[in-house]
Amino acid sequence: MAINPPSKRTQSAMKKDLKLYCHWHWKFFRLDRKLPLELVDYDMLNYLQYGDPWKVIMSFRGQGKTAKTTASICWDFFRDPEQYILLVSKSEGHAKRSLHAVRSWIKQSPWLTHLMPGSDQRDGSLEFDIAGNYSKDPSLACVGITGDIAGRRANRVIPDDIETRENTITLEMRQMLRERATEFSNVVLDGGRIDVLMTIWHEETVAKFLKTAGYTIRTWTARYPQPDEPVFNLSPTLAKRLTTGENKPGDPTCPVRFPDSALLKKEAHGRSNWNMQFQLHLNNDGETQFPLKLRDLIIMNCNPHKAPANVLWGLRGAGGDSNVVEELPMVGFEGDSFHWNIYPQKDLDWHSYNSVIAFIDPHGGAGNKLSDKTA
């Protein structure tokens, strides 16, 4: 059965209230069947409209922050068709999908169809114009985080899930992500907004950099957190419900879409994954949380038949020169590194192996999987 569009009076009210706009948007496109809006969703929409100009919206995986923010782009153009918006996604493919959603919603929403671009305007897979825009800048442009951000200008910049597992593996990757994030403030126009949407993927998350750069962080966890959980700036709405006793620690924050049974399956994937991506722990104690460092290891090229009688650990070579292993990617934290044995391998006293020690380790709780180590 077709959904009747909102009345002209309601449309006028929708321009003033993002929550009301999304209520009708969800209803008209029947999104409420798969993505019903709950307390957390309306709380997040309220923060999108009234929060600080530069902000980080941090919520757990699958919560739907991208869908709500993409709908808010339509709302922005509904209120002011003359603004410019830049959507920065984790990849170009993700950017294209987001732009396609915005364009599709504008075309199908009776209250937005007048914004469709004309035949003589930009209307591509990565940028398009709102009707009447003939300036050099597109009304909406989308780009991947590794794409061409410099030189653009926008009233609103939306970095969406720019931190991923793939771009946080090494220190160099994380440093590059931070460098790319510095461009957001260069792109946004005076008085404009930067709305960063993200989930934590690494202990050295870009959120820590954004915090020091002046962004306000607000967090929505999958479960109401325990008092000792390192959650940075939990949403005041969720914090108040804990204080008043309306909810207790451990309760699901989105009980319709993510009831306890669904969250238990997420937790089964491992405590570290759960704490980072669903409870959004923002730890600052890496030295104590991960006491074993790359610099504690001794790196050397091994021979299948011989080994040195002695190897010596040190952060510099015996002659005082650097013994940092430049050939290996730096997969540890900032300031850490791999180091060679302090003496050159050609100067070591090599001997043939006189014994072999092997250790078989059964994989805990995973059937018949095994791993072996030989020394």
Q: What is the pLDDT of residues 40-80, one digit of tens each?
A: 999 999 999 999 999 999 999 999 999 999 999 999 999 99
Of 137, 202, 139, the closest CA to residue 166 belongs to: 202
Report phi then psi at 321, rounded to 5: -80, 165
Tell me what pLDDT residue 354 has. Answer: 81
Q: How far is CA 11 from CA 8, 45, 82, in A?
A: 5, 18, 19
Of 73, 56, 88, 89, the closest CA to residue 18 belongs to: 73
Of 188, 150, 175, the closest CA to residue 54 belongs to: 188
Q: What is the pLDDT of residues 4-48, one digit of tens each?
A: 899 999 999 999 999 999 999 999 999 988 889 999 999 999 999
**pTM score:** 0.78
Tokens, residue 99 = 């732009």
Which domains are present in the chain? Answer: 51-286 (3.40.50), 292-375 (no CATH)
Give 322's pLDDT tier (boundaries 50, 70, 90). Answer: confident
Tell me what pLDDT residue 245 has. Answer: 97
How does 145-164 read in b/e, with b if 16+ C-beta sit within 10 Å? beeebeebbbbbbbbbbbbb
Tokens, residue 45 = 């929409």
The rounded mean pLDDT for the chain is 88
Q: What is the pLDDT of residues 98-152, one digit of tens each?
A: 999 999 999 999 999 999 998 889 989 999 999 988 888 999 999 999 988 988 9
